Structure 1
Amino acid sequence: MILKSLAGVLSPGATHGRLATLIFHRVLSQPDPIFPGEPDIRRFDEILGWVKRWFDVIPLDEAVSLLAQNRLPARALTITFDDGYADNAENALPVLQKHGMPATFFVATSFLDGGRMWNDTVIEAVRHCRRPRLALGELGLGDYPILTPDQKREAIETILRQIKYEAPAERLEKVQAIAGIAGSPLSTTLMMRSEQVKTLRQGGMQIGAHTLTHPILARISDEEARDEMQGSKTCLENLLGEEVPLFAYPNGKPDQDYLARHARIAQELGFKAAVSTAPGVATPQADLFQLPRFTPWDQTPARFGLRMLMNSRMIRPQIAR
């Protein structure tokens, strides 16, 4: 009750409203020894239980409208997922429905129906590699012991960090080479099928666009960025037979992964709002095309709640576009 009261003080609603938005990517069936911080079903259920105690969870499109009208309820919070993993439909949806909570799922549409994101190719290649070491010296990426889950995680994180901001074509070439050297089987079922996107929508969830191929928008031309953003929107609208008014920037760090001009492009394409991965909360003065998102990964309700309260004190300013 104390945390709920404090949340109400920091986010009283109306003209003083503050919108908090949680961001997730996956909800696993079982804990992952390589990435123990990634929530599984039990952990996600626990988090939603805490959230339900302290916040008023509302759909993102409704929150955006209320924010713009100075009518946001006290302790307002929205839930979002990025990328379009199959476990969103298989694992996250039943837990959300159990708690009666809406969420918005941002889908990178080129990976639907058997595709795989480049970072997941690296992750799965290292995860399933049966060698004691992964030698990537010929690619300029180093040599890694990978006998334990911790060693595999360190290798994955180092490799991803080195190639994340390379040009898409060069990055893809290296990723394919890594998979070849690892000699690992690679899953084609990580991402949602089109029917699962429909299942989410029919289950009361919202669907948002997340580009076609998840590029770093700041590293491609404006024309390519526009095509990526529009293509994802069009694909989902054709799939669902309705408007898709919400967008999430891939990776989402302002001034690093996307720029102010991409917020203008989002508006020009007919989106009503867009979300970043900058921490903090949005007030009625916030830029609706650069809404912040944040999720604590603390393991206890007290620490999780306190970090949410700290995040509520970070006001994202209006940014001129």
Structure 2
Amino acid sequence: MSSDNRWLRTARLELAYFSGGTWLVSRTTAGAGAVLRFERVRPRRKGAFQPLKHAEITPVFLDKMIRALKRWGYDIVALDEACERAVRLAEDRRFACLTFDGAWKDLITHAYPVLARHGVPFTVYVASAFPDGLGEAWWLALEAVIARESRISLVIDHREQRFSVARPAEKYELFAYLWAWLRKLPPAERSIAIRDLCSRHSVDLVALSREAAMDWADIAQLAADPNVTIGSATVHYPVLAHLKDAEAQREIAMGKAVLETALRRPVRHMA
């Protein structure tokens, strides 16, 4: 298997996901190791409406998790080594591989100090449009609009729709409905829809997206650390299954090419 496609080997691993209150690694059923997937790492927030909380852990939790893995005898390894171990005969010591999707700003501000203090390797997957200032974090914009408004209007399937969401339960219900609808739209249509929603309710989509994402200086800082692997998360972070083959291939190829140009090194992994 070529190095460009080595990331496909991770499908052979036992996959595990850590959240703030969930621990899914079983010591009795674990295989060679586990790839642990994270998104946001930041201090706990206040507020009754937090529909994206499932994608967050706190720096304190990250620290405790790393300490637990070391205490339990796991080898915390880089993604290259995880791919190699996944196809070798089982070893006495299992491994854990830490990955972070999206290259969000809180990785550099909240997670990186914890990871550097422990001296553990990790992988961050970058969607290249975001450090370029062109990415649209539509899910964050949707959360921001619903959090602050009690009446929301937008166009769905060419019809004006209006929603009253005064209570948290109503806000969660509307978020789930609109998130599912937006996620299935082609990228160009989703961009039009979220821009219209933000314009109607005075949310600055561009500023919100830029504030949430790392810039190229942040990524260069991480790339200079030998414990950090930079992988690609395409260009715009789309749901590839919802794209035509040619569009999906273009997202994959361009995301890799942009990263390799910026970092001046091969990018061997994609998520």
What does residue 242 of structure 2 align with? 219
What does residue 88 of structure 1 align with? 107
Q: Which TM-score applies when normalising by structure 2?
A: 0.76
Matches within 5 A, 1:66-105: 66-70=85-89, 74-105=93-124
What does residue 28 of structure 1 align with? 42
Shift of 1:99: 2.3
Instruction: Give the AA of the match of 2:185.
Output: E
Instruction: Give the AA of the match of 2:249.
Output: R
What does residue 211 of structure 2 align with? 189
Cα separation, 1, equivalents of 2:92 and 2:77: 9
What does residue 4 of structure 2 align with? none
Instruction: Give the AA of the match of 1:228.
Output: E
Cα separation, 1, equivalents of 2:247 and 2:117: 40
What does residue 260 of structure 2 align with? 237
Render the CA deviation track for 1:204-241: whole Å, top value 9, x for unaligned.
Answer: 21110111111222222222212111111111111212
Instruction: Give the AA of the match of 1:23.
Output: R
Closer, same or farther: CA 141–30 of 1 in aligned 2, 3 Å: farther
Instruction: Give the AA of the match of 1:217.
Output: L
Q: Secondary structure at the match of 1:136?
A: strand
Matches within 5 A, 1:46-195: 46-54=64-72, 55-70=74-89, 74-114=93-133, 115-127=135-147, 129=148, 131-136=149-154, 143-147=162-166, 151-186=170-205, 187=208, 188-195=210-217
Aligned residues between the structures = 236
Instruction: Decide which of 198, 207, 226 is 2:230's aligned counterpart.
Output: 207
Closer, same or farther: CA 155–52 of 1 in aligned 2, 3 Å: farther
What does residue 220 of structure 2 align with? 198
For the aligned residue pairs, the C-alpha RMSD in angstroms reads 2.6
Structure 2 portions without partners, runs of 5+: 1-22
Identify the structure with the greater strand proportion.
2
Q: Secondary structure at the match of 1:162?
A: helix
Instruction: Give the AA of the match of 1:49.
Output: R
Shift of 1:192: 0.9
Kept in 2: contact 1:79–1:102 (CA 8 A): yes
Cα separation, 2, equivalents of 1:196 and 1:148: 38
Kept in 1: contact 2:260–2:266 (CA 8 A): yes
Shift of 1:156: 2.3
Instruction: Give the AA of the match of 2:143.
Output: I
Structure 1 portions without partners, runs of 5+: 12-16, 249-321
Cα separation, 2, equivalents of 1:161 and 1:178: 15
Render the CA deviation track for 1:225-282: whole Å, top value 9, x for unaligned.
Answer: 121111111111112121110010xxxxxxxxxxxxxxxxxxxxxxxxxxxxxxxxxx
Kept in 2: contact 1:125–1:185 (CA 8 A): no
Instruction: Give the AA of the match of 1:45.
Output: D
Cα separation, 1, equivalents of 2:263 and 2:155: 46
Kept in 1: contact 2:32–2:90 (CA 8 A): no
Instruction: Give the AA of the match of 1:78.
Output: C
Cα separation, 2, equivalents of 1:103 and 1:150: 37
Cα separation, 2, equivalents of 1:48 and 1:143: 46
Shift of 1:180: 1.7
Q: Secondary structure at the match of 1:247?
A: coil
Cα separation, 1, equivalents of 2:70 and 2:167: 37
What does residue 44 of structure 1 align with? 62
Kept in 2: contact 1:113–1:192 (CA 8 A): no
